[in-house]
A = this chain, B = another copy of it.
Amino acid sequence: MQFFRSNTGVEKVSFGQMIETETVMDKTFAEVEPFDLKGRFLEIDNQLTWTFDLHDLDVVYGLGQNIRGMNKRGYVYESFCTDDPNHTPDKKALYGAHNFLVVKGVDTWGMYIDFPGHVSYDVGFNHSDELTVNVKETHFDIYFFRGAITDIITTFRKMIGKSYVPPKWAFGYQQSRWSYEDHDSVMAIADRFDEEDIPCDAIYLDIDYMEDYKDFTISDIRFPNFNNFVQTLKERGFKLIPIIDAGVKIEPGYDVYEQGIEKDYFVNDHEGHPFVAAVWPGKVHFPDFLNAKARMWFGDFYHKMLDMGIEGFWNDMNEPAIFYSEKRLKEAIEFVKQQEGKNLDINTFFKLKDKILNLSNSVKDYKSMYHKLDGQIVNHYDVHNLFGYNMTRSAAEGFKRYNPNKRFFMLTRSSHIGMAKHSGIWTGDNHSWWEHLKLNIQMMPGLNMAGFLYSGADTGGFGGNVSPDLLVRWTQFSVFTPLLRNHSAMGTRRQEPWEVGAQAKIALRNAIRMRYALIPYLYSEFMKANLNATMLFSPIAFAYEDKHSQKVEDQLLFGDSLMLTPIYEQNATGRVVYLPEKMLYWDMSSFEKITDKPFKLFEQGHHYIDMPMDAFGAFLRPNKLMVVTNPQNRVSKIDSCHLTVIGYVENQATYELYDDDGISFDFMNDHISSTRITVTNVQGQYQISVDTNALDLKSLTFYLIDDSGECQVITQNLEQVELRRV
């Protein structure tokens, strides 16, 4: 056991890492004298269990993408990337593995476990007053953080590296379905968006665009002239986002397969032959993404599609999902066969059922797979959580080789701490359940803590049939998430915005248009959260210390200025909100209504807010500003010359508006268009100052509400030089 401390004061206890996860970017850790350890740890059977006391009022935040509330207390969780779309409240792991948590309470502290295998957390489940962590190994690093929760998070986020930034168009609305399977069906979707005058920036290609589900192939039959097709859509402002799966089809003549075999770049079985699993293409091998050479080799295949004009991808099935392995299917069939003609007892019947049921995503298979990592043979089970991460890293590094100063769009299903450097994530295969909308809301802070800023859920739900109101309410929430993607599975009810009734269509169009109006604020807050390693979505307890705020599970701070109070229950036409201080409600039902000044002040405390099906809104914090613009049907068409600023200004409010070219990495060098807007309320008279280097910014229209609720509209023409102080 060795003890280290970083320049930022983070304490690290090392039990000796077996495998370098490459998640910690901070190189300032230096060995120090042993310090007092938090909690009590115990080594049994080559596993390590660490127990910490929880005080009654302690709240436990974090664990990234997982089920249950923002406060993780009261349940058991696992870090073990799992393809489980049916994530009911008894599940313990989802698609990602994010071993970072913060205990906020009497003593606020944080913990990151740097270990790529199975970790479990009992957060006050078996014993209400204990947090117990079990690591299925004795070789790992554990990091401890102290300070205020927001400081802990920033320190951690800086330690793991800056988060991924997508191109700006990725903040537009995105339409997906499994599948728009051919040229005509994609075109029909694009046409329909324009006919309905509903904004949209991207259309997804799910697995059926490929030839027999082979990665980096295009079905000639379904997409006869793919390059032209990509170009035509791009000219109309639609990006196409094709899927790439983890499994490579076993098919002689198929280049990825042939090269992988030739170069020995696939994950092996215990005999050293490529491991055979079955997923969508049938039998596949998995590229050995933990092998740096294999990673580079696979990453270069993306170039093929970048050459066709594609600018982004989603990596899927990379937990990796396994429908079955050849070997275990054989065993199961054998077992079933043996039962033929027997008078089965019930236990044998259940065993038979389990044999078939448990074929998919079996730990036994994961334990039968082997990686070659720097010449070392590593069992997959021990590094399971790094697989999806490294698949996506392979793509991201491939993009960098292709064009080092262009941002490509990248989403992935499976993830791990550290992967946020390379990609955004969607929250996996959810269902059209109100419970999964609530889960989406509650999951956002955990994702941000783990570094995932560009994220969102399959809006409307992937599995199952959506109801009109669920789609509307979910979209009204997703309007605020950086990734706003409507996606649904084969065989389910269609859930494009026009598919669930006339009333819903109007509400959906209004919500999506409001999203485009919000982009100046959303993009600014996203970029600031990125550059400053802060939260985009926070529990309100991160900013307010009163007793009530510590308990609120269904409201979110969104950026610095807004508080969200989404509706997530069927048939609700309003909800109770808790305001930790006096705030301004903006009824966002439609952007155009802004001229009616749809603003209302509410005092600190609990309030019931009416939000009929076509209505939603957000609360603006006092002495904060937000900046919006007129909605357009593409992000690229957004008017950044004439902006609207809203604020409830009792004294003074300042807003930092960020913008950039939306596609390069120039922001990394602070080559950014920045505007600082300050509004001061001097006894009912507003003084406005604007400090900007944005040459195209021509006017700002202010909606300023004072303590009495009175709204003044003031338009400032920035072409008058005296207002613009660069």
Chain A residues engaging chain B, CB cutoff 8 angstroms:
59, 68-69, 71, 73-76, 86, 88-90, 124-128, 278-283, 323-324, 329-330, 333-334, 336-337, 339-340, 343-346, 349, 352-353, 356-357, 359, 431-435, 463-465, 467-470, 493, 501, 503-504, 548, 551, 553, 569-574, 576, 578, 606-608
Checking B76, B357, B606 against A353 with a beta-carbon cut-off of 8 angstroms, the contacting residue is B357
Report the bound CA distance from A572 to B501 in whole Å.
37
Residues of B within 8 A of A86 (CB): 88
Q: Which of B73, B281, B357, B572 contacts A357 (CB 8 A)?
A: B357
Specify which chain B residues have a CB less than 8 angstroms from the CB of A468 in the assembled complex. 128
Q: When the two chains form their complex, are residues B606 and A608 in contact, meaning their CB atoms are under 8 A apart?
A: yes
Q: Which residue of B lies closest to A576 (CB)?
A: B576
In the complex, are the beta carbons of B431 and A89 less than 8 A apart? Answer: yes
A576→B337 contact, CB < 8 A: no
A464 engages B90 (CB within 8 Å): yes
A334 to B86, CA, bound (A): 29
- Chain copies in the assembly? 2
Contacts A68-B570, A278-B346 given; does A333 touch B323 at CB 8 Å: no
CB-CB under 8 A from A88, the residues of chain B are 86, 88, 431, 433
Which B residues lie within 8 Å of A463 (CB)?
90
Q: Contacts A73-B570, A88-B86, A353-B356 given: A128-B469 contact, CB under 8 Å?
A: yes
A571→B71 contact, CB < 8 A: yes
Q: How far is the CB of A463 from chain B (nearest CB, A)?
A: 8
User: Bound complex: CA of A551 vs CA of B613, how far in Å?
Assistant: 13
Chain B residues with Cβ below 8 Å from A281 are 346
A68 CA / B569 CA spacing, docked (Å): 10
Distance, CA A86 to CA B352, complexed state (A)? 20
Distance of A324 Cα from B572 Cα, bound (Å): 42
Beyond A324-B349, A329-B349, A353-B359, list 15 extra A-B contacts (CB 8 Å): A69-B570, A74-B467, A75-B467, A90-B464, A279-B346, A282-B344, A282-B345, A330-B340, A334-B340, A336-B337, A353-B356, A356-B357, A551-B572, A576-B606, A578-B608
Residues of the B chain whose Cβ atoms lie less than 8 Å from the Cβ of A574: 551
Collect the chain B residues with CB atoms within 8 Å of residue A69's CB.
569-571
4 shortest interchain CB distances as A-B pairs: A356-B356, A89-B433, A336-B336, A74-B570
Q: Residue of B at shortest CB range from A501?
A: B128
**Structural contact, B125 and A467, CB atoms closer than 8 A:** yes
Q: Which residues of B contact A608 (CB under 8 A)?
A: 548, 578, 606
B569 touches A553 (CB 8 A): yes
Residue in A68, A73, A356, A548 with the greatest tally of chain B CB atoms within 10 Å: A356
Distance of A533 from chain B, by nearest CB (Å): 28
CB distance from A31 to the nearest CB of B (A): 39
Q: In the complex, how many angstroms separate the beta carbon of A79 from the nearest chain B beta carbon?
A: 19
Of the residues B128, B283, B343, B349, contact of A343 by C-beta under 8 Å:
B283
A204 to B323, CA, bound (A): 41
User: Which residues of chain B are within 8 angstroms of A465 by Cβ–Cβ distance?
Assistant: 76, 125
In the assembled complex, the Cα of A684 lies from the Cα of B37 at a distance in Å of 64
Please state if A349 and B278 are interface contacts (CB–CB under 8 Å): yes
How far is it, in angstroms, between the C-alpha of A186 and the C-alpha of B359 when the chains are bound?
Answer: 39
A127 to B572, CA, bound (A): 17
A547 to chain B, nearest CB (A): 9
| Residues on the B chain within 8 Å of A356, using CB | 336, 352-353, 356-357
User: If the complex has contacts A89-B433, A435-B89, A504-B128, are A571 and B336 also in contact, measured as CB distance less than 8 A?
Assistant: no
Contact partner, A127, options B501, B553, B570, Cβ 8 Å = B501
**Chain B nearest CB, measured from A322 CB (Å):** 11
Report how far A470 CA is from B282 CA in the complex, Å. Answer: 44
Complex Cα–Cα for A472 and B523 (A)? 45
User: CA separation between A359 and B330, bound complex, in Å?
Assistant: 21
Please measure, in the bound complex, the distance between the C-alpha atom of A642 and the C-alpha atom of B508, giving whole angstroms: 62
Q: Which of B334, B434, B551, B573 contacts A573 (CB 8 A)?
A: B551
Least CB distance from A610 to B in Å reads 9
Q: How far is the CB of A677 from chain B (nearest CB, A)?
A: 36
Bound CA–CA A165/B75 (angstroms): 39
Q: How far, in Å, is A468 (CB) from chain B's closest CB?
A: 5
Asked whether A90 and B431 contact (CB < 8 A) given A329-B344, A349-B324, the answer is yes
